[in-house]
Amino acid sequence: MTTSANWISRGEHVITRTYGRYPLVPVRGAGCRLWDVDGREYLDFLAGVAVNNLGHCHPQVVTALQQQASTLLHCSNFYHIPQQIELAELLTANSFADRAFFCNSGAEANEAAIKLARKYSLDKRGPDRSGIITALESFHGRTIGAISATGQDKVRTGFAPTVPGFSYVPFGEIDALEAAITPETCAVLLEPVQGEGGVNLPPAGYLKQVRQLCDRHQLLLIFDEVQVGCGRTGHLFAYQHDAVEPDIMTLAKALGGGSPIGTMLSTEEVATSFGPGTHGSTFGGNPLVAAAGIATMKVLLEGHVLDNCIAVGAYLRFRLEQLKKDFSFIREVRGRGLMLGVELDIEGADIVVRAMQKGLLINCTVGKVLRLVPPLIVSRSEVDQAIDILEDIFREMPGATR
């Protein structure tokens, strides 16, 4: 019988080391639960880094994949793909957007957004205006353009020269953003809630001020909703909390219910700057992943998943705030819906390991922020189970106070 130890040993010889992997080999998932190859069960509050918004192996997504896999897996974007068209109709009918471009990941979606913003600026505003302002602590992906846009030095280290034309300002500071605008600026790219950067929310009214600033200076506003979109915050899209519409928005992670699909949505006017030959993606929106995306969107649009996200998200936050009262090293609980961060005064890496050993999967960003992004179908009893595990770990931490 092949055990976790066997698989880990084999992988160490053949897999490129781009991840610091935990000693866990998942082989089965259902709802909010994962099981490893040794038969151990885990409560998954990481959800594939916010990919499994509907939980593992949601029946409607699985059925859509099985049916599509038996008829047509892939053709080419040289042809018209009904599943892709239907998914685009669902996305545009329920957002600000008029057009969708499909790709495979969030990084690819952001690459498309960067290209479209620069092409639109060239078409409408003339040359020498290609600068894009992003936020410090942002994260937009791992490709060369996406790391150039990302406001964290650590992801760019070792990969110079990166793509020129990006500048970075503190997230949530409107005066700093306005001061960074130059005659060369063409767009502002922001996450409505920063995920990888530490689950950071902007101050109330900030996104509306950014929209006004973009309008005043004829800049495009791009929202990266790769992590916060598809219901994660309790609305279908995070920008809907602030009633501020972007010109371009990117989605991925949860869009395919566990299948690799991304999209760049835009208004009709902006989309006209892309034409045949300007951009593309071989696998983007192929029949298989687009069918999964349709199933995912239909479940989200039924509403009960979003309702559960809001209700159970509030309960999870309440339980975390209770822990904050008991343990002095918890600095802050923040986030929206079921995208919550717990900022600590101590390093979080060891807590993540201890949680996994006790059967709870979470992760840590920027060193001291525990990130909790469980499936949106999570129950109150599962929240109680997760909190009990965290409380046990916190009680064992040096300096714990009650």
Binding residue numbers for N(2)-acetyl-L-ornithine: 142, 281
Residue 124 known to be catalytic = no
How far is it, in rounded angstroms, from Cα 327 to Cα 24? 29
Catalytic residue among 101, 139, 223, 327: 139
Residue 324 known to be catalytic = no
Residue 264, φ and ψ in degrees, nearest 5 = -115, 120
Residue 394 known to be catalytic = no
How far is it, in rounded angstroms, from Cα 163 to Cα 132? 11
- What does the block give as tokens for 26? 């998942």
3-state SS assignment for residue 365: strand
Catalytic residue among 101, 171, 224, 274: 224
How many C-beta atoms lie closer than 10 Å to residue 118's C-beta?
19
Q: Quote the longest CA-to-CA distance of the chain.
A: 65
- What does the block give as tokens for 62? 């699985």
3-state SS assignment for residue 297: helix
For residue 309, give every residue at least 6 positions away whose Cβ sits within 8 Å of its Cβ, in sequence order, or none.
231, 232, 233, 234, 337, 338, 376
Residues making up the annotated binding site for pyridoxal 5'-phosphate are 106-107, 139, 224-227, 282
What is the DSSP secondary-structure string of 142-191? SSHHHHHH-B-HHHHTT--S--S-EEEE-TT-HHHHHHH--TTEEEEEE-
What is the DSSP secondary-structure string of 112-140? HHHHHHHHHHHHHH-SS--EEEEEBT---
Q: How many helices (H) and strands (E) does the chain have?
A: 14, 15
State which H helix or E strand residue 214 sits in: helix 206-217
Instruction: Tell me the residue ranges of DSSP E strands in 243-381.
Output: 248-251, 262-266, 330-336, 339-344, 360-361, 363-365, 369-372
How far is it, in rounded angstroms, from Cα 390 to Cα 351? 8
Residue at token pair 């353009």: 145
HSE-up (13 A, CA, CB side) for residue 16: 1
Catalytic residue among 44, 96, 237, 253: 253
- What does the block give as tokens for 35? 């099981």
Q: Are 136 and 151 in contact (CB under 8 A)?
A: yes
Catalytic residue list = 139, 224, 253
